[in-house]
Amino acid sequence: MRFDDRRAAGQRLARNLEFLRGGHVVVLGLTRGGLPVAYEVARALGAPLDVLVVRKLGVPWQPELGFGAIGENGVRVLNDDVIEQARLEPDELDAVEQAERAELQRAVHRYRAGRAPVPTAGRTAVIVDDGLATGATAEAACRVVRQQGAARVVLAVPVGPVSTVARLQAVADDVVCLESVHHLGAVGAWYDDFTQTTDAEVTSLLARAARPAPVDAPAPGQEVLVPTAGVRLLAQLTVPDAAQAVVAFAHGSGSSRHSPRNQYVAGVLNRAGLGTLLLDLLSEEEESDRDNVFDVSLLARRLYGAADWLRLETALPVAYFGASTGAAAALEAAAAPDADVRATVCRGGRPDLATPSALARVRAPTLLIVGSRDTTVLDLNRLAADRMTCEHHLAVVPGAGHLFEEPGALATVARLAREWVTGHLATGTVLPGRRA
């Protein structure tokens, strides 16, 4: 398993921490790379987020060898074995600690911007980082939080070596690691985007987490019930400030509004000023019947109705994003005689499941995205493109398979989708009598 970026890793990690929801939990992100991961975990669990700054105490003539660690409020954890082996004197210990304590205080002041720390005493402390290597920092963090009075310590990371995970299970009460691997290499090798997290990003995430959501505005990923075609469907609605349009997602078979791939694409669209509606077109009971999963007509009716609801709810134009079988539903919905959709994007789509006549009736500018290694689906999209009379384009992502799991593949999908939708907002089809 690879991760698109730290945000996507945090969303996946959060689903494995659902057992903590509703408990007396605080989420602590290790600086700096752990903060974007921890932010998603805290948001999903509805828990407060704080920064965890830990400074290693290194032997003066061998700084990489730690003899302890320090945390806030004077917390200090020492390794007596290392101190004895290195024959460190008390004044040497004090000098190292004073220097590191000054650095710790500067970092805390910079990140918190005057906010008080979130109390950990008596609570379940979930320590989050973007990955483990040697595990030294994570171990120090667990010991520091334990000494601060945490009732339970949970260490949560997307990836780490099997040996390190096993060792840390003796330090934390629980260790949750999505990918325990025998040969890690570098943590960054497990991410498509491992851009360094800046101090400004850490500060921004902490400020955002501390700020209450406006009562009259949808929160990011807000759960909503969408009335459409005689049913009410679960969805996640995100509408950024000054959004230009909203993109309704139709997922493929076996997927849902929690799809990490679609969540990632939605995040890219959100940052570009586009709203998103990640929609389950079937209930759990309906999904158990495979006939429903491939009933494109049913899915299209529901997507069309959801788009009407979305226009009324947000007063914004609507675009479609369909994946796999959801792409067929998006194309069928866009082919309705009175469809008012600004653009349609299909990722790894199955347009062959839409009727040929529907393909010919689609008027919204349509982008078909397929991986070069997904040869069968690529042929199906070429045939579909031949039947389309609207503005359309087939984008082939080099080296990508059906799920776009290859490094950089999903980022390319998100970029293409963003550019296609934003590029057609002003030129999309608006039908007479419909809201622009």
pLDDT for 36-68, tens place per residue? Answer: 999 999 988 889 999 988 887 888 988 877 788
Which residues make up the CATH 3.40.50.2020 domain(s) of the chain?
6-210
Give the separation between CA 393 and CA 420, rounded to whole angstroms.
Answer: 10
The helix (run of H) or strand (run of E) holding residue 56 is: strand 55-59
Looking up tokens 């493929």 gives 252
- Residue partners of 107: CB distance under 8 A and separation at least 6: 31, 53
Nearest in space to 208 (alpha carbons), one of 37, 53, 49: 49
Give the separation between CA 370 and CA 190, rounded to whole angstroms.
Answer: 23
Q: Which two tokens stand for residue 235?
A: 């969805």
Residue 138 has pLDDT above 80, yes or no: yes
Instruction: Quote the pLDDT of residue 220.
Output: 53
Q: Which two tokens stand for residue 418?
A: 């963003």
Q: Do the Cβ atoms of 413 and 397 come closer than 8 Å? A: yes
Residue 215 has pLDDT above 70, yes or no: no
Give the separation between CA 309 and CA 271, rounded to whole angstroms.
Answer: 23
Nearest in space to 260 (alpha carbons), one of 15, 8, 38, 39: 8
Confidence of residue 222 (pLDDT cuts 50, 70, 90): confident
Helix 325-334 and helix 296-314, axial crossing angle in degrees, nearest 10: 60
Confidence of residue 433 (pLDDT cuts 50, 70, 90): very low
Classified by CATH at the fold level, domain 6-210 comes out as Rossmann fold (3.40.50)
Residue 395 has pLDDT above 60, yes or no: yes
Over range 380-399, report the average pLDDT.
95
Asked if the 222-423 domain carries CATH number 3.40.50.1820, the reply is yes
Q: Which two tokens stand for residue 148?
A: 């601060």
Residue 353 has pLDDT above 80, yes or no: yes
| Helix/strand/coil for 247 | strand
Residue 434 has pLDDT above 50, yes or no: no
Highest mean pLDDT among 151-165, 289-303, 398-412: 151-165
Does residue 331 or residue 20 have the better pLDDT? Answer: 331
Confidence of residue 216 (pLDDT cuts 50, 70, 90): very low
Residue 335 has pLDDT above 80, yes or no: yes
Over range 108-121, report the average pLDDT.
84
Instruction: Quote the pLDDT of residue 436.
Output: 31
Instruction: Quote the pLDDT of residue 254.
Output: 57
Give the separation between CA 114 and CA 100, rounded to whole angstroms.
Answer: 20
Confidence of residue 221 (pLDDT cuts 50, 70, 90): low
Q: In sequence order, what are the beta bridge partners of 51?
A: 29
Instruction: Quote the pLDDT of residue 34.
Output: 94
What is the pLDDT of the chain when averaged over all its residues? 87
Which residues make up the CATH 3.40.50.1820 domain(s) of the chain?
222-423
- Residue partners of 186: CB distance under 8 A and separation at least 6: 133
| DSSP classification of residue 222 | E
pTM to 2 decimal places: 0.51
Note if the bond before 152 is cis, omega within 30 degrees: no
Q: Do the Cβ atoms of 269 and 414 come closer than 8 Å? A: yes
Which stretches of 162-313 are assigned E, i.e. beta strand?
174-181, 222-228, 231-238, 245-250, 274-279
User: Which of the residue ranges 90-94, 361-365, 417-421 would you say has the lowest mean pLDDT?
Assistant: 90-94
